């Protein structure tokens, strides 16, 4: 016996993790640069005997460090096994039976999967094209119980301003708005204030992108203490392992390293975007560590993907219309981006 919704489920397809020898991996928005050397120090000092014991189930050291970073209380922070886990747990907490989940389109392709798992109808609205359009946006009745806004958005790389996101939260209230800020550290701005100023806003962040720790699996949710406390009720007892807690703590002790990597990636992104535009590509201005762009005809997105693949360079292409004209290219090192420019 398999639940019909699971039997029929179209699973989320992550960026390919290939086994080929020479691979330039620009298909999953991972960071081009290694994480802080503080992490190697923490690992060298780690006593494997600690693995005998279960981890701190409520990751207290880690959430106190995070609370200091965001100037809030530790009780306002939840930590998960990647932000993917955090987002899934949020659907358990905030979506009542038969209630809807809402998203804009296009956005992160995990959300429809989360809605299917939860057996929640998904309300999909076209992505507003400006802050003004977002401010004017109104939900039809009944409103979704939970709305996921990715800001800056994936795969488009576009971003709404703080006040436009606040307007969305207010028109959605009392339902919950999760602002998925996986890429915000590449944008120079964020909506974290809304987690403390608007009672229905929660902000998710990840160590996978700006902090160069996709392999670690640590993501967080920040907001009202009474809302956050419910995620603790539904999580696995030990959802963040000892090493993940230790390494995330080490990373947080060295934010300057992460910020310098972000500066390098943003500089490369701007140079790469301008060079593509000069070659006739349509490049969506990006606030992230990837660019969303259309090659000049007769070149197609699929053809670009295939050409780069023969050189061991992986990028992302979505075959669903109308996205199939685009490719999404993660920003790597200057040398990697120069190699792409020499091929397209």
Contacting positions for ligand PMP (CB under 6 A): 29, 82-84, 108, 150, 154, 180, 182, 206, 208, 214, 219
Nearest approach, Cβ of residue 161 and ligand PMP (Å):
18
Nearest to 159 by CA among 229, 104, 208: 104
Residue closer to ligand PMP by CB (options 191, 344) is 191
Residue closer to ligand PMP by CB (options 39, 344) is 39
User: Strand pairing of 201-206 and 176-180?
Assistant: parallel
Nearest approach, Cβ of residue 184 and ligand PMP (Å):
10
Nearest approach, Cβ of residue 219 and ligand PMP (Å):
4
Nearest approach, Cβ of residue 170 and ligand PMP (Å):
23
What region does 233 belong to: left with phi over 0, alpha with psi -120 to 50, or beta?
Answer: alpha
What angle in degrees, to the nearest 10, is found between the helix axes of 37-44 and 242-252?
Answer: 140
Residue closer to ligand PMP by CB (options 14, 37) is 14
195 CB-contact burial (10 Å; exposed 0-12 / middle 13-18 / buried 19+): buried
Residues paired with 283 in a beta bridge? 293
Query: How far is it, in rounded angstroms, from Cα 18 to Cα 55?
Result: 32
Give the max Cα distance, the chain: 60
Residue closer to ligand PMP by CB (options 100, 328) is 328
Nearest to 38 by CA among 183, 266, 200, 254: 254
Query: Token match 């070149």: residue?
Result: 299
Nearest approach, Cβ of residue 73 and ligand PMP (Å):
23
Residue closer to ligand PMP by CB (options 106, 344) is 106
Residue closer to ligand PMP by CB (options 286, 344) is 286
Nearest approach, Cβ of residue 248 and ligand PMP (Å):
11
Residue closer to ligand PMP by CB (options 31, 36) is 31
Nearest approach, Cβ of residue 235 and ligand PMP (Å):
15
Query: How far is it, in rounded angstroms, from Cα 112 to Cα 34?
Result: 32
Tokens representing 145 are 């119980």
Query: Token match 């397809």: residue?
Result: 13
């Amino acid at each position: 016996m398999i639940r019909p919704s699971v039997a029929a489920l179209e699973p989320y397809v992550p960026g390919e993790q290939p086994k080929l020898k020479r691979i330039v991996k620009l298909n999953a928005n991972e960071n081009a640069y290694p994480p802080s050397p503080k992490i190697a120090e923490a690992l060298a000092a780690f006593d494997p005997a600690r693995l005998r014991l279960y981890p701190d189930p409520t990751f207290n050291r880690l959430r106190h460090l995070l609370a200091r970073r965001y100037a809030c209380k530790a009780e306002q922070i939840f930590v998960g096994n990647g932000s993917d886990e955090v987002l899934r747990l949020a659907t358990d907490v905030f979506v009542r039976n038969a209630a809807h989940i809402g998203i804009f389109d296009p956005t992160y392709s995990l959300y429809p999967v989360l809605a299917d798992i939860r057996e929640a109808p998904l309300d999909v609205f076209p992505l507003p094209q400006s802050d003004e359009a977002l401010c004017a946006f109104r939900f039809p009745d009944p409103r979704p119980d939970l709305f996921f806004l990715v800001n800056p958005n994936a795969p488009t790389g576009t971003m709404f301003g703080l006040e436009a996101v606040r307007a969305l939260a207010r028109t959605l209230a009392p339902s919950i708005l999760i602002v998925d800020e996986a890429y915000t550290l590449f944008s120079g701005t964020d909506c974290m204030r809304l987690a403390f100023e608007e009672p229905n806003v929660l902000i998710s962040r990840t160590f996978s992108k700006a902090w160069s720790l996709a392999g670690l699996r640590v993501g967080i949710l920040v907001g009202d203490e009474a809302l956050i406390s419910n995620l603790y009720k539904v999580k696995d007892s030990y959802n963040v392992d000892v090493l993940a807690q230790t390494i995330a703590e080490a990373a947080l002790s060295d934010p300057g390293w992460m910020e310098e990597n972000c500066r390098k990636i943003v500089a490369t992104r701007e140079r790469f975007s301008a060079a593509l535009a000069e070659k006739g590509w349509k490049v969506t201005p990006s606030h992230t560590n990837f660019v969303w762009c259309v090659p000049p005809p007769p070149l197609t997105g699929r053809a670009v993907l295939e050409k780069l693949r023969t050189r061991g360079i992986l990028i992302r292409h979505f075959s669903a219309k109308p996205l199939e004209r685009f490719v999404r290219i993660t920003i790597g090192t200057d040398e990697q981006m120069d190699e792409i420019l020499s091929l397209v």
